[in-house]
Chain A
Amino acid sequence: MSNFTITTANINGVFIIRPCGYVDEHGGAAIFATVQKALPEGHQKFILNLAASPVINSQGIAQIIELAEIIVDEKNGELAFTGLSELAGGVFKMVGLLQMGDAYPSEQQAVEALGN
Chain B
Amino acid sequence: MDPVKELFAELSSPDPSIRFSVLSRIEEMPLTASQIAEFRGMLASECEPGIRFHMQKVLARFEPGEQARPDRSGIAELLQQPGKDEISLALYLESVKRGEAQAVADELRKSGWVNFSAQLLPSVLKFLKKFGAAEDVNAVAALCSHGDPRVLSAAIEALEKLSPERLREHIVPLLLNANSGIRSRAVRILYRFDPSEALRHFESMLFSSSEEEKQAALFHSFFFPFKQIESLMLRYISVETDSELIKKAGLVFMANPDRQIPLRLLEARQACVGEKYQLIDSILKGVLQSLFQAGLVNAEPAQMLEVLENHFREKRIRLYIERFSLGLKSGDAETRLKSALKLCELIRHGVEEPRSLISDFLKKEKDEKVVARVGQFLESGRLEPETARKIEPETVGKSEPETAKAFIDLLPEQRQKIYDQINRENYGQQMAGIIGFFARLPVEEQIAVLGIIERSGTRRETELMLRCLESDNADLLTAAIDALSVVNPEALHPLLPQLIKHRFDEVKVAAIKVFALFDKKQAISLVEQMLHSIRPVQRRNAIFCLAHFDYASVSQILLTALKNESDEENQQQIFSILLSNADEETFFQVYVEARSGRSNRAELYARLYAGLVAKIIAADPAKTEAGLFAAAEERLEEEKRSQNQRSAYQLEKIQKIRQESQKKSEPDPGLIRFAVVAYAIGAILTALIWFLFMAPPTPQKVAKPAARAAGQPKSMTKTVKGVVSGVDAAKRQVDIADPAEQKTYRVHFPEKAGALPVIGNAFHGQLKVTGERGGILIGEWLNAF
- A residues contacting B by CB (< 8 A) are 2-3, 21-22, 24, 54-59, 61-62, 65, 68-69, 72-74, 76, 84-96, 98-100, 102-105
Enumerate chain B residues within 8 angstroms of A56, measured Cβ to Cβ: 255
Enumerate chain B residues within 8 angstroms of A104, measured Cβ to Cβ: 701
Q: Are A74 and B692 in contact (CB under 8 A)?
A: no
Shortest distance in angstroms between A68's beta carbon and chain B's nearest beta carbon? 8
In the complex, whether B671 has a CB less than 8 A from a CB of chain A is no
Enumerate chain B residues within 8 angstroms of A54, measured Cβ to Cβ: 290, 293-294
The total of chain B residues at the interface (CB under 8 A) is 39
Enumerate 29 A-B pairs (CB-CB under 8 Å) in ascending A order. Answer: A21-B294, A22-B293, A22-B295, A54-B290, A55-B254, A55-B257, A55-B293, A58-B222, A58-B226, A61-B255, A72-B684, A73-B684, A73-B685, A74-B130, A87-B255, A88-B255, A90-B251, A94-B222, A94-B251, A94-B692, A95-B219, A95-B222, A96-B689, A99-B24, A99-B25, A99-B687, A99-B692, A100-B684, A103-B701
Q: Are B294 and A22 in contact (CB under 8 A)?
A: yes
Q: Are B296 and A57 in contact (CB under 8 A)?
A: no
Enumerate chain A residues within 8 angstroms of B296, measured Cβ to Cβ: 2, 22
Task: Please measure, in the bound complex, the distance between the C-alpha atom of A55 and the C-alpha atom of B218, giving whole angstroms.
Answer: 19
In the complex, whether B542 has a CB less than 8 A from a CB of chain A is no
Task: Please measure, in the bound complex, the distance between the C-alpha atom of A94 and the C-alpha atom of B697, giving whole angstroms.
Answer: 9
Enumerate chain B residues within 8 angstroms of A24, measured Cβ to Cβ: 294
Shortest distance in angstroms between B501's beta carbon and chain A's nearest beta carbon? 42
* Segment 224-259 of B: residues with Cβ below 8 Å from A: 224-226, 248, 251-252, 254-257
CB contact between A89 and one of B219, B290, B702 (< 8 Å): that residue:
B702
In the complex, whether B703 has a CB less than 8 A from a CB of chain A is yes
Shortest distance in angstroms between B252's beta carbon and chain A's nearest beta carbon? 7
Q: Are B701 and A93 in contact (CB under 8 A)?
A: no
Q: Are A58 and B702 in contact (CB under 8 A)?
A: no
Known: A55-B294, A58-B224, A58-B225. A99 touches B257 (CB 8 A): no
Q: Are A98 and B700 in contact (CB under 8 A)?
A: yes
CB contact between B683 and one of A55, A62, A73, A89 (< 8 Å): that residue:
A73
Nearest CB in chain B to that of A90: its residue: B251
Known: A54-B293, A58-B226, A104-B701. A99 touches B255 (CB 8 A): no
In the complex, whether B286 has a CB less than 8 A from a CB of chain A is yes
In the complex, whether B781 has a CB less than 8 A from a CB of chain A is no
Enumerate chain B residues within 8 angstroms of A85, measured Cβ to Cβ: 293
Q: Are B702 and A93 in contact (CB under 8 A)?
A: yes
- B residues contacting A by CB (< 8 A) are 24-25, 95, 126, 130, 218-219, 222-226, 248, 251-252, 254-257, 286, 290, 293-296, 683-685, 687-689, 691-692, 697, 700-704
Enumerate chain B residues within 8 angstroms of A90, measured Cβ to Cβ: 251
Task: Please measure, in the bound complex, the distance between the C-alpha atom of A23 and the C-alpha atom of B689, giving whole angstroms.
Answer: 23
Enumerate chain A residues within 8 angstroms of B683, measured Cβ to Cβ: 73
Q: Are B286 and A87 in contact (CB under 8 A)?
A: yes
CB contact between B223 and one of A57, A62, A93, A105 (< 8 Å): that residue:
A62
Task: Please measure, in the bound complex, the distance between the C-alpha atom of A109 and the C-alpha atom of B337, giving whole angstroms.
Answer: 74
Enumerate chain A residues within 8 angstroms of B684, measured Cβ to Cβ: 68-69, 72-73, 99-100
Shortest distance in angstroms between B199's beta carbon and chain A's nearest beta carbon? 14
Give 19 new A-B contacts, CB below 8 A, not counting A65-B685, A93-B702. Answer: A22-B293, A54-B294, A55-B255, A61-B255, A69-B685, A72-B684, A73-B685, A74-B130, A76-B95, A84-B702, A89-B702, A89-B703, A91-B255, A93-B700, A95-B692, A96-B688, A99-B25, A99-B684, A99-B688
Shortest distance in angstroms between A78's beta carbon and chain B's nearest beta carbon? 9
Q: Are A103 and B702 in contact (CB under 8 A)?
A: yes
Shortest distance in angstroms between B722's beta carbon and chain A's nearest beta carbon? 35
Task: Please measure, in the bound complex, the distance between the C-alpha atom of A69 and the C-alpha atom of B687, giving whole angstroms.
Answer: 12
Shortest distance in angstroms between A93's beta carbon and chain B's nearest beta carbon? 6
Shortest distance in angstroms between A16's beta carbon and chain B's nearest beta carbon? 18
CB contact between A96 and one of B126, B225, B687 (< 8 Å): that residue:
B687
Enumerate chain B residues within 8 angstroms of A99, measured Cβ to Cβ: 24-25, 684, 687-688, 691-692
Q: Are A98 and B702 in contact (CB under 8 A)?
A: yes
Nearest CB in chain A to that of B256: its residue: A57
Q: Are B701 and A105 in contact (CB under 8 A)?
A: yes
Most buried by A among B219, B224, B293, B704: B293
Enumerate chain B residues within 8 angstroms of A58, measured Cβ to Cβ: 222-226, 252, 255-256
Enumerate chain A residues within 8 angstroms of B294, measured Cβ to Cβ: 2, 21-22, 24, 54-55
Enumerate chain A residues within 8 angstroms of B218, measured Cβ to Cβ: 94
Task: Please measure, in the bound complex, the distance between the C-alpha atom of A58 and the C-alpha atom of B257, giving whole angstroms.
Answer: 10
Nearest CB in chain A to that of B291: its residue: A55
Nearest CB in chain B to that of A103: its residue: B702
Task: Please measure, in the bound complex, the distance between the C-alpha atom of A104 and the C-alpha atom of B703, giving whole angstroms.
Answer: 10
Shortest distance in angstroms between B291's beta carbon and chain A's nearest beta carbon? 8
Task: Please measure, in the bound complex, the distance between the C-alpha atom of A84 and the C-alpha atom of B252, giving whole angstroms.
Answer: 16
Enumerate chain B residues within 8 angstroms of A103, measured Cβ to Cβ: 700-702
Nearest CB in chain B to that of A113: its residue: B701
Most buried by A among B219, B226, B251, B286: B251
CB contact between A91 and one of B95, B226, B251, B703 (< 8 Å): that residue:
B251
Task: Please measure, in the bound complex, the distance between the C-alpha atom of A93 and the C-alpha atom of B21, giving whole angstroms.
Answer: 14
Enumerate chain B residues within 8 angstroms of A2, measured Cβ to Cβ: 294-296
Enumerate chain A residues within 8 angstroms of B225, measured Cβ to Cβ: 58-59
Enumerate chain B residues within 8 angstroms of A91, measured Cβ to Cβ: 222, 251, 255
Enumerate chain B residues within 8 angstroms of A94, measured Cβ to Cβ: 218-219, 222, 248, 251, 692
Known: A91-B255, A94-B692. A73 touches B248 (CB 8 A): no
Enumerate chain B residues within 8 angstroms of A96, measured Cβ to Cβ: 687-689, 691-692
Q: Are B290 and A87 in contact (CB under 8 A)?
A: yes
Nearest CB in chain B to that of A68: its residue: B684
Enumerate chain B residues within 8 angstroms of A74, measured Cβ to Cβ: 130
Most buried by B among A24, A56, A87, A103: A87
Shortest distance in angstroms between B112's beta carbon and chain A's nearest beta carbon? 25
Q: Are A3 and B295 in contact (CB under 8 A)?
A: yes
Task: Please measure, in the bound complex, the distance between the C-alpha atom of A27 and the C-alpha atom of B636, giving whole angstroms.
Answer: 31
Known: A2-B294, A58-B222, A99-B24. A93 touches B254 (CB 8 A): no
Enumerate chain B residues within 8 angstroms of A61, measured Cβ to Cβ: 222, 255
Task: Please measure, in the bound complex, the distance between the C-alpha atom of A53 and the C-alpha atom of B18, giving whole angstroms.
Answer: 33
Nearest CB in chain A to that of B95: its residue: A76
Task: Please measure, in the bound complex, the distance between the C-alpha atom of A13 and the C-alpha atom of B74, giving whole angstroms.
Answer: 33
Enumerate chain A residues within 8 angstroms of B692, measured Cβ to Cβ: 93-96, 99
Shortest distance in angstroms between A66's beta carbon and chain B's nearest beta carbon? 10
Enumerate chain B residues within 8 angstroms of A69, measured Cβ to Cβ: 684-685
